[in-house]
Structure 1
Amino acid sequence: MISTPDPWWPTALLAAVLFSDAILSVRPPMFIQQCLDGVHFPRDWWWVLVVVKLLAAAGLVAGLRYTGVGVTTNVAVIAYFVCAACAHYRARYLKQEFWLNCLGMLVLSTAVLFLSHTSAL
């Protein structure tokens, strides 16, 4: 049965990381700019990533209280980073940003799913 996360803190940690990433992406530092340019993501669409990350953080926080919201958002975050990894691979942009940021976030979000939602799986 899908419930709220137990333990709750990994989900809260992932929400905080995504929120921080969204705030950082408002005026992206050079390493984020190089990453987005490296995968040929259009600059006119960079704002969408901020919105997606903010919504993901909000969904994870809401999921601490409302049944099913957290696990659904967590799966969506994993899908987001799988798509990001595919974009990196297709663009052949496999530099440090790919290994640390993209795959690191994929590992973190997957670990949170298994730590906090194993009873839902």
Structure 2
Amino acid sequence: MTILPDPVWPVVVLAVVVFGDGLLTFRPPRTIAACLDGVGFPRDWWWVLAVVKFLAAAGLVAGLWIPGLGAAASVGLVVYFLCAAAAHLRADYIGRDFWLNCLGMLLVCLAVLIFCFLT
């Protein structure tokens, strides 16, 4: 395991994507709102998702210079999307949003963790 990412570019790309995802949480498009409603996540708590995503993006970026922080942020994102997948399965909300968005982001986060920190 490396404590600084190598290569760096996938971590930067993931940070940008997660930051953008956090921005979308404030005024989500219909598909994201339907997804959050579909899994039964209360609208009063949607802001928490934005905070988590902004902190993850900041951790990924800061982890380019602070040893271990980027790896911790990557692990946190994997856990976040595992929890999202569990929420989808528990709510039986398994459609395009689950396969493309939830599992897609889980795979991207896993790939960044493995490719940049574990090899």
Same fold (TM over 0.5): yes
Pick the TM interval, shorter chain: over 0.9
How many angstroms apart in 1 are the aligned matches of 2:14 and 2:2? 19
1:87 aligns with 2:99: no
Q: Distance in 2 between matches of 1:3 and 1:91?
A: 37
Structure 1, unmatched stretches of 5+, are none
TM-score normalised per structure 1: 0.95
Identity among equivalent pairs (%):
57
Q: State the TM-score, normalizing by the size of structure 2.
A: 0.97
- For residue 37 of structure 1, report the CA deviation from its aligned partner: 0.3
Structure 2 gaps, min length 5: none
Q: How many residues align?
A: 119
**Alignment-derived partner of residue 106 in structure 1:** 106
Q: What pairs with 1:62-77 in structure 2 (closer than 5 Å)?
A: 62-77=62-77
Distance 2:24 2:40 in 1: 19
Return the offset for 1:26: 1.1
Q: Deviations over 1:86-106 (max 9, x none)?
A: 000000000110000000000
The alignment partner of 2:48 has SS state of helix
- What is residue 8 of structure 1 aligned with on the other side? 8
Please identify runs of 4+ aligned residues in structure 1 that moved more than 4 A.
none
For the residues of structure 2 that align with 1:85 and 1:95, how far apart are their CA atoms?
A: 12
* Corresponding residue number in structure 1 for 2:33: 33
CA distance in 2, matches of 1:83, 1:99: 14
Provide Cα deviations, 1:22-54, integer angstroms capped at 9, x if missing partner: 111110010000000000000000000010000
Q: Kindly provide the amino acid, as one letter, of the partner of residue 94 in structure 2.
A: L
Between the aligned partners of 1:95 and 1:44, the Cα distance in structure 2 is 24
